[in-house]
């Protein structure tokens, strides 16, 4: 039952009211009148998980006795709370109460306890150096995602909603930076992609452009091309048929989980508390740090690049002066460690990359190679180890 609902999530948009279940259609029409499509999608998934848990269809659920309805809803939400997911428990209670209210229940009279008080989860904001370390140990796709998030400040939802066609001309040219226009059109793909309907421009910097072009070139080689309506970073879910994946957005939780794995691989101790929003805060730190050649970026420019609503007529001014804003953006210091990576930072990134290839005990092997070849540098020793581990024949080169 739950899987059928997930299929409906993908199938129903934009006509959400076409559900085959009477109770669901009634509820969806009510939500569309009162709330956002983002809330609808979130609530719809929670209902899908609930009916899978309860083992009944939505129509059969609303016909159950009042006491049985109360028991199923309370047990479902309490289960999340017991597992430490209090925010999810609270959201599930809101969604199910909304569903019951739309189907004639007097929810105030139901014996349901929805008081799942929780503290805001901790969040770790990586430094620029740590962001580049993450990019160094990630594959082509995730290197591009990390650098694009970091150098644009885009929200998780906005990045997932971008299509290839929106940036095609810029990607296929050598232009830097790439201009990204966040508009309400993105909501047709990911419902919460343009928060509060604020339209704005942001940019992909030099490193992000390079990583994105490498990833796109690889995709074209493997797929034989990319259609304009395919997503820039599509879903990798095996639950979605391969032929449809290019046009199905990545799940926001999948993106967050993968970022955590990469942060852990990069040796970031606080990897558990890192998410896509963390890179947005690193982006803000770069804006606050000022220009490489001295001076500070204006507060209005910072707020605009963050996608925040500006007062009065300031937003139209920025929209009309995107090229000027791009010039200011390129004066910011995007280099790791201030001016560039130090030798130690570069070496750590190389070691992390070697570990990502499955090479174990890299430090021990480096010491052994240096003992046998004292004239070698540490970087050369890592290179030798990687080539030997991967079975690549050593080649002599003349200076």
pLDDT digits (tens, 9 = 90+) for 352-384: 777 766 787 887 888 888 888 877 777 778 878
pLDDT at 172: 93
Which of the 8 DSSP states describes residue 201? E
Strands 178-182 and 200-204: antiparallel
Q: Which residue has the tokens 């049985």?
A: 68
- Over the stretch 167-214, which tens digit does the pLDDT of each residue have? 999 999 989 999 999 999 998 898 888 887 889 999 999 999 999 999
Instruction: Dig out the tokens for 342 from the structure.
Output: 């130090």
CA distances from 225 to 164, 217, 291, 328 (A): 11, 9, 39, 34
Number of Cα atoms under 13 Å in the Cβ half of residue 382: 16
Model's pTM, two decimal places? Answer: 0.62
pLDDT at 399: 36
Q: In angstroms, rounded to a whole number, what is the distance separating the alpha carbons of residues 296 and 223?
A: 44
Is the Cβ–Cβ distance between 318 and 325 less than 8 Å?
yes
User: What CATH class has 128-330?
Assistant: mainly alpha
* Alpha-helical segments (H) within the chain: 2-12, 22-34, 37-54, 58-61, 66-82, 86-102, 128-137, 140-152, 156-161, 164-172, 206-223, 252-265, 276-289, 299-305, 314-320, 322-330, 343-356, 362-372, 378-389
| Domain residue ranges of the chain, discontinuous segments joined by + | 2-109, 128-330, 357-389
Nearby residues of 40 by Cβ (< 8 Å), 6 or more positions away: 16, 28, 31, 32, 191
Q: In angstroms, rounded to a whole number, what is the distance separating the alpha carbons of residues 270 and 248?
A: 31
Q: In angstroms, rounded to a whole number, what is the distance separating the alpha carbons of residues 399 and 26?
A: 75
Q: pLDDT of the chain along its 399 residues, tens only?
A: 445 554 555 454 444 445 567 888 788 777 777 656 677 778 888 888 898 888 888 888 999 988 889 889 988 988 887 777 888 888 899 999 989 998 888 888 887 877 776 545 678 999 999 999 999 999 999 999 999 999 999 999 999 999 999 999 999 998 999 999 999 999 889 888 888 788 999 999 999 999 999 999 999 998 889 999 999 999 888 778 888 888 999 888 788 889 999 999 999 999 988 989 999 999 999 999 999 988 899 999 999 999 988 876 677 777 778 999 999 999 999 988 644 445 565 677 677 777 766 787 887 888 888 888 877 777 778 878 877 876 644 444 333
Taking Cα atoms as reference points, which of 11, 300, 254, 230 lies closest to residue 156? 254
Q: For residue 374, how many other CB atoms are within 10 A of its CB? A: 7
Q: In angstroms, rounded to a whole number, what is the distance separating the alpha carbons of residues 8 and 11?
A: 5
Is the Cβ–Cβ distance between 46 and 77 less than 8 Å?
no
Number of Cα atoms under 13 Å in the Cβ half of residue 2: 11
Is the Cβ–Cβ distance between 47 and 58 less than 8 Å?
yes
Q: In angstroms, rounded to a whole number, what is the distance separating the alpha carbons of residues 336 and 151?
A: 12
Nearby residues of 381 by Cβ (< 8 Å), 6 or more positions away: 366, 369, 370, 373
């Amino acid at each position: 039952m739950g899987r059928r609902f997930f299929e409906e999530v993908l199938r129903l948009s934009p006509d959400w009211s076409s559900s085959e279940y009477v109770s669901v259609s009634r509820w969806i029409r009510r939500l569309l009148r009162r709330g956002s499509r983002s809330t609808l999608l979130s609530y719809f998934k929670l209902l899908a998980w609930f009916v899978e848990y309860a083992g009944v269809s939505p129509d059969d659920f609303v016909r159950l006795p009042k006491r049985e309805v109360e028991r199923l809803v309370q047990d479902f939400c309490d289960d999340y709370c017991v597992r430490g997911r209090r925010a999810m428990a609270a959201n599930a209670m809101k969604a199910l109460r909304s569903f019951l209210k739309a189907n004639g229940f007097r929810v105030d009279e139901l014996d349901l306890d929805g008081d799942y008080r929780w503290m805001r989860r901790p969040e770790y904001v990586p430094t620029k150096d740590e962001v580049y370390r993450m990019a160094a140990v990630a594959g082509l796709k995730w290197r591009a995602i990390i650098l694009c998030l970091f150098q644009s400040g885009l929200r998780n939802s906005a990045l997932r909603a971008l299509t290839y066609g929106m940036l095609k001309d810029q990607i296929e040219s050598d232009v830097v930076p790439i201009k990204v226009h966040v508009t309400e059109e993105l909501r047709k793909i990911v419902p919460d992609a343009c928060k509060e309907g604020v339209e704005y421009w942001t940019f992909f910097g030099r490193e992000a452009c390079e990583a994105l072009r490498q990833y796109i070139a690889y995709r074209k080689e493997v797929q034989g091309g990319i259609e304009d309506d395919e997503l820039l970073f599509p879903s990798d879910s095996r639950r979605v048929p391969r032929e449809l994946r290019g046009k199905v957005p990545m799940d926001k939780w999948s993106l967050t989980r993968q970022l955590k794995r990469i942060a852990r691989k990069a040796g970031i101790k606080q990897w558990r508390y890192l998410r896509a929003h963390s890179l947005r805060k690193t982006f803000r730190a770069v804006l606050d740090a000022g220009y490489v050649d001295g001076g500070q970026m204006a507060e209005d420019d910072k707020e605009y690049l963050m996608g925040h609503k500006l007062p009065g007529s300031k937003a139209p001014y920025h929209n009309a002066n995107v090229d000027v804003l791009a010039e200011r953006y390129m004066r910011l210091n995007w280099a790791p460690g201030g001016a560039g990576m130090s030798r130690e930072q570069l070496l750590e990134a190389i070691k992390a990359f070697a570990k990502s290839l499955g090479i174990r005990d890299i430090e021990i092997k480096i010491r052994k190679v240096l003992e046998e070849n004292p004239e070698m540098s540490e970087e050369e020793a890592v290179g030798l180890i990687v080539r030997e581990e991967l079975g690549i024949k050593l080649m002599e080169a003349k200076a």
